[in-house]
Chain A
Amino acid sequence: MNQDRWLAVLAGELDRRGIAAEHAAPVVAEAATHLRESGEAPLRAFGPPEEYAAAVAEGLGPARWAEETRAPAGGIRLDARGIGKGYGRRRVLHNVDLTVRAGQVAAVVGANGCGKSTFLGICAGLVGADHGRVRVRGTIGYCPQYHGTVDFLRPDEHFVLVGAGRGLPRDRARAAGLAAAAELDWDGATRTQARHLSGGTRQKLNLVMAGLGEPDVLLLDEPYQGFDRGSYLDFWQQVWRWRDAGRAIVIVTHLLNQLDRVDTVLDLTPKEAVPC
Chain B
Amino acid sequence: MLTRTRTVAEMTLREITRRRGVLLILLLMPLAFYLTRRGDHLGQSVRFVCLGLGWALSTAALFTGTASRALEPRLRLTGYATHQLLLGRLAALWLLGLVLSAPYLLLIRLDQPDVGHGAVALSMALMVAVAAPFGLAVAALLPRDMEGTLVLLTVVGTQMTLDPSDPVARLLPFWFSRELSTYAVDDVSVDHLSRGLAHGLGSALLLLAVAAALAAARLRRRPHLRFV
Chain A interface (Cβ < 8 Å from any Cβ of B): 83, 122-129, 132-142, 144, 147-153, 157, 160-162, 164-167, 193, 209, 212-213
Q: Give the size range of B's interface with the partner.
A: 20 to 34
Contacts of B225 in A (CB 8 A): 122-125, 133-134, 136
Listed by A's residue number, 12 A-B pairs whose Cβ atoms lie within 8 Å are A123-B225, A124-B225, A125-B224, A125-B225, A126-B222, A129-B224, A134-B226, A136-B226, A147-B70, A166-B78, A167-B79, A209-B74
Contacts of B214 in A (CB 8 A): none
Contacts of A128 in B (CB 8 A): 222, 224
Residue B116 is within 8 A (CB to CB) of chain A in the complex: no
Tell me whether A150 and B11 are in contact in the complex, defined as CB-CB below 8 angstroms, given that A126-B73, A142-B74, A166-B78 are known contacts.
yes
Q: Whole-angstrom distance from the CB of B71 to the nearest CB of chain A?
A: 6
Chain B interface (Cβ < 8 Å from any Cβ of A): 1, 3-4, 7-8, 11, 14-15, 18-19, 67-68, 70-71, 73-75, 77-80, 221-222, 224-228
Contact B15 A122 (CB under 8 A): no
Contacts of B14 in A (CB 8 A): 152-153, 157
Q: Whole-angstrom distance from the CB of A33 to the nearest CB of chain B?
A: 51
Complex CA–CA separation, A21 to B73 (angstroms): 41
Complex CA–CA separation, A67 to B75 (angstroms): 39
Question: Which of B4, B71, B78 has the most C-beta atoms of chain A within 10 angstroms of its own C-beta?
Answer: B78
Tell me whether A165 and B228 are in contact in the complex, defined as CB-CB below 8 angstroms, given that A147-B70, A150-B11, A152-B18 are known contacts.
no
Q: Whole-angstrom distance from the CB of A165 to the nearest CB of chain B?
A: 3
Contact A149 B226 (CB under 8 A): no
Contact B226 A141 (CB under 8 A): no
Contact B226 A162 (CB under 8 A): no
Contact B78 A162 (CB under 8 A): yes
Contacts of B19 in A (CB 8 A): 152
Q: Whole-angstrom distance from the CB of A172 to the nearest CB of chain B?
A: 13
Contact B222 A141 (CB under 8 A): no
Contact B77 A150 (CB under 8 A): no
Question: Which of B14, B19, B225 has the most C-beta atoms of chain A within 10 angstroms of its own C-beta?
Answer: B225
Contact B70 A153 (CB under 8 A): no
In the complex, residue of chain A having the shortest beta-carbon distance to the beta carbon of B85: A165
Contact A136 B227 (CB under 8 A): yes
In the complex, residue of chain B having the shortest beta-carbon distance to the beta carbon of A213: B78
Contact B227 A165 (CB under 8 A): no
Contact B80 A165 (CB under 8 A): yes
Contacts of B75 in A (CB 8 A): 161-162, 165
Contact A134 B67 (CB under 8 A): no
Tell me whether A129 and B11 are in contact in the complex, defined as CB-CB below 8 angstroms, given that A142-B74, A162-B78, A165-B75 are known contacts.
no
Complex CA–CA separation, A126 to B225 (angstroms): 9
Contact A165 B11 (CB under 8 A): no
One of B7, B67, B78 near A150 (C-beta < 8 A): B67
Tell me whether A125 and B222 are in contact in the complex, defined as CB-CB below 8 angstroms, given that A140-B77, A148-B70, A164-B3 are known contacts.
yes
In the complex, residue of chain B having the shortest beta-carbon distance to the beta carbon of A132: B224
Contact B224 A193 (CB under 8 A): no
Complex CA–CA separation, A132 to B78 (angstroms): 24
Q: Whole-angstrom distance from the CB of A16 to the nearest CB of chain B?
A: 28
Question: Which of B67, B74, B77, B227 has the most C-beta atoms of chain A within 10 angstroms of its own C-beta?
Answer: B74
